């Protein structure tokens, strides 16, 4: 009985140390971010993973399936955190701060900056509907917490500005070779409350309570893969 799933490896050992599936995702992530989805072949992914090309198709039915898995991994954990925050009884401004802080933290800590893939035109299409549905749900949670914080109905522009502020981390990391400052998530969360027109609620107490709320959640918070 063979110890391999799929074809034997092209190169001995696992680049990630986590097995073939993780190797494929890691290699694909690097290539999609640096070359673009359209310019990356499954052969190149296989070579980056140290595998035979047939192994890529053993684990994933198509290149689209790999991209879908990668982008879902950037939003599903944050959506779970957002869902729990919306159901929390803590003050709305604390929950909004916590969501922005958690979301920004995961984007800052993503080693491959996979959020870059959001801007790939290949994501426009029905085959990536699951990703878009999850992302819409995340944005809806921002909307609910904005409504509760301000006491007014948030517009599409309000939500887009808040989410854009958080996700600007992606663009910054793509353009700058410098490490992102460690206090970036906190500053972004503070800025979200300022953008929501409640700057007087940007306090040490809000920050401390926001971190406490996140620590008490069942879903993985900052420090987890997005």
Structure tokens at 70: 């990668």
Provide the pLDDT for residue 224.
43
- CATH classification of the domain holding 124: 1.10.357
Burial 122-150 (b: 16+ CB within 10 A, else e): ebeeeebeebeebbeebbebbbbbbbebb
Provide the pLDDT for residue 178.
85
Q: With contact defined as beta carbons under 8 Å apart, do 209 and 144 qualify? A: no
d(C-alpha 22, C-alpha 49), whole Å: 9
Provide the pLDDT for residue 1.
36
Point out the residues of the chain with pLDDT beneath 50: 1-6, 223-226
Handedness of CA 102, 103, 107, 108 (dihedral sign): negative
Residues 129 and 79 in one domain: yes
Residues 101 and 134 in one domain: yes
Residues 112 and 26 in one domain: no
Alpha helices in 37-182 (DSSP H): 42-49, 53-59, 63-86, 92-109, 129-150, 156-175
pTM of the model: 0.87
Residues with Cβ within 8 Å of residue 11, at least 6 apart in sequence: 50
Greatest C-alpha distance within the chain = 66
Provide the pLDDT for residue 194.
98
The number of beta carbons lying within 10 Å of the beta carbon of residue 186 is 18
Is 13 inside any structural domain?
no
Residues 133 and 55 in one domain: no
Residues 88 and 41 in one domain: no
Residues 50 and 76 in one domain: no
Provide the pLDDT for residue 2.
37
Provide the pLDDT for residue 125.
84
- CATH classification of the domain holding 43: 1.10.10.60
Q: With contact defined as beta carbons under 8 Å apart, do 63 and 16 qualify? A: no
Q: For residue 113, what are the domain limits? A: 70-215
Residues 86 and 193 in one domain: yes
Give me the number of domains the chain comprises: 2
């Amino acid at each position: 009985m063979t110890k391999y799933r799929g074809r034997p490896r092209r190169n001995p050992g696992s680049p990630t140390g986590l097995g073939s599936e993780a190797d494929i995702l890691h290699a694909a992530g690097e290539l999609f971010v640096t070359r673009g989805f359209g310019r990356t072949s499954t052969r190149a992914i296989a070579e980056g993973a140290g595998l035979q090309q047939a192994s890529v198709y053993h684990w994933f039915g198509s290149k689209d399936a790999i991209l879908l898995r990668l982008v879902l991994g950037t939003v599903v954990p944050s959506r779970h955190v957002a869902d729990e925050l919306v159901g929390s009884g803590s003050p709305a401004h604390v929950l909004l701060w916590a969501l922005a802080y958690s979301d920004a933290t995961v984007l800052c800590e993503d080693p491959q900056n996979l959020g870059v893939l959001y801007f790939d035109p290949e994501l426009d299409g029905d085959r990536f509907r699951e990703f878009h549905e999850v992302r819409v749900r995340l944005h809806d949670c921002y909307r609910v917490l904005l409504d509760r914080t301000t006491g007014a109905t948030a517009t599409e522009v309000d939500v887009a500005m808040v989410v854009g502020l958080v996700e600007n981390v992606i663009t910054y990391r793509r353009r700058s070779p410098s490490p992102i400052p460690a206090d970036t998530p906190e500053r972004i969360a503070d800025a979200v409350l300022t953008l929501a027109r409640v700057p007087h609620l940007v306090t040490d107490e809000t920050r401390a309570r926001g971190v406490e709320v996140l620590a008490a959640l069942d879903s993985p918070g900052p420090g987890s893969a997005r």
